[in-house]
């Protein structure tokens, strides 16, 4: 969070700062054929993350105390970058907002947050996102999912 707030000065100089999406990222719980959330708390944590980031980004570190944190975030590599965005948002005095939204395979959130970027839907693009490849046609090991 502190690093994110320190990066705010770079934004003022026109530097693009990119974090990462997929805050909920439990590869051990993937269900290759599940287009919806499973029932083990992944969605609950994703909704809690959205609420904090879009309402009170300075409170983002408290997500580590959420009952579903360890299940939804078993490794820090997809959670730490959202702290940078939360720090930037807190330093700017305004909340982040979802830039990309969605989920896949029961335990992956595709949600990404932004401070100022516009989503394609805000520019009138209503095309759906790409779908997950059919594993009977393209084996999972041949994709980047």
pLDDT digits (tens, 9 = 90+) for 52-100: 999 999 999 999 999 999 999 998 888 888 998 999 999 999 999 888 8
Query: Is residue 132, in this structure, part of any structural domain at all?
Result: no
Could you tell me which residue, 128 or 27, shows the higher pLDDT? 27
Q: Is residue 40 part of a domain?
A: yes
Assign 11 to helix, strand or coil. Answer: helix
Q: What angle do CA 120, 90, 22 make, to 5 degrees?
A: 45
Chain segment 27-60, per-residue pLDDT in tens: 888 887 766 766 778 889 999 999 999 999 999 9
CATH number for the domain that contains residue 66: 3.40.830.10
Top pLDDT among 117 and 86 is at: 86
Asked if residue 144 belongs to a domain, the reply is no
Q: Is residue 110 part of a domain?
A: yes
Domain-located, residue 68: yes
Tell me the sheet residues that pair with 97: 114
pTM: 0.77
122: in domain: no
Q: What is the DSSP code (8-state) at residue 79?
A: T
Considering its fold, how many domains does the chain have in total? 1
Q: Could you tell me if residue 41 is inside a domain?
A: yes
Please check whether residue 104 lies inside any domain of the structure: yes
Domain span including residue 54: 2-7+16-115
């Amino acid at each position: 969070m502190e690093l994110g707030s320190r990066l705010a000065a770079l934004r003022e100089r026109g530097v693009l700062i990119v974090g990462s999406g997929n805050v909920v990222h439990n590869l051990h719980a993937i269900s290759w054929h599940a287009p919806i959330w499973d029932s083990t708390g992944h969605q609950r944590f994703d909704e809690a993350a959205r609420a904090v980031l879009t309402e009170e980004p300075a409170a983002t570190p408290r997500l580590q105390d959420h009952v579903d944190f360890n299940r939804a975030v078993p490794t820090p590599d997809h959670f730490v970058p959202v702290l940078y965005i939360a720090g930037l948002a807190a330093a700017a005095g305004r909340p982040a907002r979802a830039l990309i939204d969605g989920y896949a395979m029961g335990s992956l959130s595709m949600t990404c947050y932004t401070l100022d970027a516009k989503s394609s839907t805000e520019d009138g693009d209503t095309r759906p996102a790409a779908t997950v490849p059919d594993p009977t046609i393209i084996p999972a090991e041949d994709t980047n999912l």
